[in-house]
Structure 1
Amino acid sequence: MTAASDIRQRARELVEQLPGNSLSQAVAFMETLHPNRGAALEQPLLDQIQQTRSPEDQARLAYLRQQKEAETISDTEYEELLAFVERVEQQDAERAEALIQLVELRNVI
Structure 2
Amino acid sequence: MGELIGLAAVVLIFGIPLLAIWTSHQQKIAKMQVESTAETTAEKAAQYATQIQRLEDRVQVLERIVTDRGYDVATQIEALRDSRSVEDRDSGVPLTTGSRERA
TM-score (norm 1): 0.36
- Which one has the largest radius of gyration? 2
TM-score (norm 2): 0.38
Higher RCO (C-alpha 8 Å, min separation 6) = 1
